[in-house]
Amino acid sequence: MGKIENVLRSTFEVAKLEKLPRRRTLGRSALDIKDLNRLTPVGTRLKKNKDTVTLGLVQMSASDDAEANLSKAEARIREAAKKGAQIVCLQELFRSRYFCQSEDQRCFNLAEAIPGPSTDRLSALARELQIVIVASLFEKRSAGIYHNTAVVLDADGSIAGKYRKMHIPDDPLYFEKFYFTPGDLGFPSFQTRYARVGALVCWDQWFPEAARLASLSGAEILVYPTAIGWIPKEPRAVAQKQRDAWELIQRAHAIANGVFVASVNRVGREGNLKFWGHSFVAGPSGEILNVAAGDREEILIAKCDLRQIDEIRESWPFFRDRRIDAYSPLQSRFIDSPDGT
């Protein structure tokens, strides 16, 4: 009778389950967690994940005074923390003006070691405020080897990890190949007190492979310290198309990987470039959670409900359906025989 009773009990529970109200989630029906708890033994109740993380993006202008820029960044980080930010992100190469508009050997004097003076001060600030800081620095690795590096500082002041920019542009007014050796650390993500963070840098924004690999390593939030703008004499329509494309491709990364994406840009006129600001945070379905202005400094705050990552990936299971057995041609520079022969 014991086995029969168990079968009858299971059948009864399934019948009750089928009668429970359902909610719609991105086109799929799902039982509400409280309904499932009614059928779950006490002590094994399903728990709601309360992991809501607040991001703060520091969009600012820069001067020729590196010390003043660092002090300014520290003040803005404090402001962001007062607004509730738990993870605060600075723009690309925040300690200086964007010097890559020309090839000048004197600019190598701006580089520093990691750990070094900037990370020492920012680590102390992270520890004091109990926040995570993502900072983009001009790293001197050794004589003649320099990197464009994003450092993730955890809330206890330790260095959670660093990422060296992999994609190095060489375009008019963006002569980065003169200064930066391509990164050699891959596309990692780093566990911090509040979330797992993948830190990529500017030009990396345009490469879906970078976002995918950082996401596959477990990133919940992709952060892009950025320095991007337009030449003031460019036609307004062209400039608008460029900015729209910049935002759109990063929102696509959020959708394709089911992650949050934060892009923090500088603002203001520097030499022949006008940086367009518009720092933003996108959710895992590509929605804009908050966006900054294009013509002024700003501290952008956005709340990220990490529970959405599970919800989105369950409804849009892109990771499940990837054909990893069929992607080896991605390692080719170009597929010269498009018919596969």
Concerning whether 100 is annotated as a catalytic residue, the answer is no
The tokens for 147 are 């990197």
Catalytic residue (one of 89, 202, 220, 270):
202
Q: Is 223 exposed, middle or buried (0-12, 13-18, 19+ CB in 10 A)?
A: buried
Catalytic residue (one of 89, 92, 140, 220):
92
The candidate with the shortest Cα–Cα distance to 198, out of 188, 213, 212, 209, is 188
Q: Residue 242: CB partners within 8 Å, gap ≥ 6?
A: 230
Type of residue at 173? L
Which residues partner with 196 through β-bridges? 191
The candidate with the shortest Cα–Cα distance to 59, out of 200, 304, 227, is 227
Could you give the strand order of the β-sheet that contains 273-276, starting from the edge strand earlier in sequence?
A: 229-230, 273-276, 267-270
Concerning whether 202 is annotated as a catalytic residue, the answer is yes
Catalytic residue (one of 165, 220, 274, 304):
165
Given phi > 0 = left and psi -120 to 50 = alpha, else beta, which region is 107? alpha
Concerning whether 304 is annotated as a catalytic residue, the answer is no
**Coil, strand or helix at 246:** helix
C-alpha to C-alpha distance for 135 and 130, rounded to whole angstroms:
16
Catalytic residues: 92, 165, 202
